[in-house]
Structure 1
Amino acid sequence: MTISNKPSVNSPVNPSASPSGSALNNQWWAVSVACSPALEDSVYWQFEQMGSKGTASQQQNGDCTVTAYLLQSQYQPSDFEALQATLNQNAAEGNLPDVRVSWRLIADEDWASSWKTHWQAEEIGDRLLINPAWMTPPATERAILTLDPGSAFGTGAHATTQLCLKVLEKQDLVGATVADIGCGSGILSIAALLYGANRAYAADVDPLAVTSTRANAKLNGISLEQLQVQLGSLPEVIAMTDKPVNGIVCNILAEIIVALIIPRLGELAAPAGQPPTWGILSGILTAKAPWVERHLTVCGWQVVDLTEQDEWCAMTIQRRL
């Protein structure tokens, strides 16, 4: 079984911390959707529209369960019955099994801390070990990345993050400069720096992710000069860099990659006559890979490798010169 946050435009937040800061005495709906993995994106989107204060997924034996936390005062059971009807319509259109929606009331709890009991040190790829900051790392010859993601996306558990890390370790990173768009916990930037990169420029639209990235850099002995992070997305990364980067990593949903990232990706790329800039794009359902590739081609990029895990894929891309 895997337990993970899901990449999105805005990272999930701790359900006990509402925007107004007044949710500490509220009860919460824990709403779970059991569905085909192919519907996972649709379920996350629906929960995002409902204002979920935290969303996580579990996958086991080919089945997927997505759970979200919603303020009790804002929803009634009839809302969840309507959600099930909408999702079942989506499932029927895709010839997929019906979904099952269940819900229960729960008391306040520090979710950002409680999930830690489920997370252990994990080997990723051939070179890396992700170790929770609150645990003593095991003896290993692997590079150890110490991580406390808090409520930011990127523990290394989700397939999209694992794909990025596995592809990243194959790149020539010694002395490289890397751009990290949608950095979450900072896991990809930190891994690149552990592999020998000279500097990483990172951004995320969630202030919690920016804070998490800075904290995790410190945990790994990385200076804020080596890993520069700002609130924002691709435009902010472009503004931070004073010259083209060697590599780009981006683990965001395919729709965001196509609409907002690909059209301006070339502004980070090396010009003709220099070694071509490479990129790693993840958060992409394998079924959507051809669609993403078409947009890359139009904007002057080519896919040089495609790595798959579960229903997700990571594209290794290179600027055509």
Structure 2
Amino acid sequence: MAWIQLRIQTTEQAAEQVSDMLVGWGAQAVTFIDSKDTPIYEPLPGEVLYWQDTTVIGLYDAEHPMQPVLDKLQQTSLFKQGLSYKLEQLEDKDWEREWMDNFHPMQFGKRLWVCPSWRDIPEPDAVNVLLDPGLAFGTGTHATTALCMQWLDQHIQADQTVVDFGCGSGILAIAALKLGAQRVVGIDIDPQAIQASMANAERNQVVDRLELYLPKDQPELAADVVVANILAGPLVELSSIIAGYVKPGGALVMSGILPSQADAVMAAYQHQFDFDAVAEQDEWIRLSARKH
């Protein structure tokens, strides 16, 4: 199917208004991207953040009459205040197939592999996590996930209880189970992540040992290992909750942190934890620590 897209350069304050207009004018999807490559970090539950300079992209069927849309846009007060736009063709591809074709099996540490569910397993005797990320984050391709997978490969032991805080696709939770953990609890604010984690757990035949919760339903427990691959802001803001899951002597593993943010994250936990050496990959770091 052929598509066209209407790209509108706007501001953080006007982004949601522009999105609503595009939807009202027939856009089949709307996407927000950063106009100036400014980092934005994971919001707290219920919080929505945009970039100061935001590009809002409306996706339209190529046969959709666009001149009426442009006419309406040019009549808005935002356009009169300097809002700019560009209408362009979008290359017609099977985007899902292209993504699938470029997602390959990956090895983490000595024994752990992540294998797309649609590809052959390269080492059948290894610890293989079969993954279909679907709508949730976490394929192993991002450095933050890779750093956590490497730690799990080296440290998970039999009979341990693990909490995956911000479980996304369930990749870390399932890896912990297949490496020998007895029980894993996954927590995420996104119901789609819970669905994706459950589907991936079923695919890996570990669903009987994985418990999944939204924050409002999260249980009280003390775990041997807590892994939190989110971002620095929430790691600091939610430090009391995350630290509370770690039993005395237990391990805490955190990623989604830039080197410049390490001190702030460590400061939020150091009164309860002794930290290991920092691990870094592709400009991201992993912090690991042991609870007093």
Q: Fold conserved (TM > 0.5)?
A: yes
Please state whether the residue corresponding to 1:270 is helix, strand or coil. strand
Shift of the alpha carbon at 1:24? 9.3
Aligned to 1:226: 209
Shift of the alpha carbon at 1:42? 3.2
**Count of residues in Structure 1 that have an aligned counterpart in Structure 2:** 249
**1:42 partner letter:** I
Provide the C-alpha distance between the structure 1 equivalents of 2:251 and 2:42, rounded to a whole number of angstroms.
Answer: 30
Residue 272 of structure 2 corresponds to residue 295 of structure 1: no
Please state whether the residue corresponding to 1:281 is helix, strand or coil. strand
Which structure 2 segments of 5+ residues have no match? 1-19, 61-68
Q: Aligned in 2, Cα 1:28/1:291: closer, same or farther, shift over 3 Å?
A: closer
Shift of the alpha carbon at 1:108? 9.2
Aligned to 1:310: 282
Provide the C-alpha distance between the structure 2 equivalents of 1:50 and 1:105, rounded to a whole number of angstroms.
Answer: 25
Provide the C-alpha distance between the structure 1 equivalents of 2:274 and 2:283, rounded to a whole number of angstroms.
Answer: 22
Q: Aligned in 2, Cα 1:246/1:29: closer, same or farther, shift over 3 Å?
A: closer
Provide the C-alpha distance between the structure 1 equivalents of 2:134 and 2:25, rounded to a whole number of angstroms.
Answer: 19
Shift of the alpha carbon at 1:291? 1.2
> What is the aligned counterpart of 2:225 among 234, 237, 247?
247
- Map 1:155-166 → 2, pairs under 5 A: 155-166=139-150
Kept after mapping to 2: 8 A contact 1:203/1:236: no
**1:150 partner letter:** G
Shift of the alpha carbon at 1:109? 7.8
Please state whether the residue corresponding to 1:71 is helix, strand or coil. strand
Q: Residue deviations 1:4-44, cap 9 Å, x none? A: xxxxxxxxxxxxxx9xx999962656857675xxx4x3388
Provide the C-alpha distance between the structure 2 equivalents of 1:267 and 1:164, rounded to a whole number of angstroms.
Answer: 20
Q: CA RMSD in A?
A: 3.8
> What is the aligned counterpart of 1:199 among 171, 183, 208?
183
Provide the C-alpha distance between the structure 2 equivalents of 1:108 and 1:175, rounded to a whole number of angstroms.
Answer: 50
Shift of the alpha carbon at 1:115? 2.0
Q: Residue deviations 1:143-180, cap 9 Å, x none? A: 11100000210000000000000111121421100001
Which structure 1 segments of 5+ residues have no match? 1-17, 52-66, 85-101
Shift of the alpha carbon at 1:231? 2.1
Please state whether the residue corresponding to 1:316 is helix, strand or coil. strand
Q: Aligned in 2, Cα 1:104/1:161: closer, same or farther, shift over 3 Å?
A: farther
> What is the aligned counterpart of 1:265 among 222, 242, 248?
242
TM-score (norm 2): 0.72
> What is the aligned counterpart of 1:256 among 210, 222, 234?
234
Q: Aligned in 2, Cα 1:32/1:254: closer, same or farther, shift over 3 Å?
A: closer
**2:58 partner letter:** L
Identical residues among aligned pairs (%): 30
Shift of the alpha carbon at 1:129? 1.3
- Map 1:10-159 → 2, pairs under 5 A: 26=28, 35=37, 39=38, 41-42=39-40, 49-50=49-50, 70-72=57-59, 104=88, 106=90, 114-159=98-143
Provide the C-alpha distance between the structure 2 equivalents of 1:266 and 1:44, rounded to a whole number of angstroms.
Answer: 19
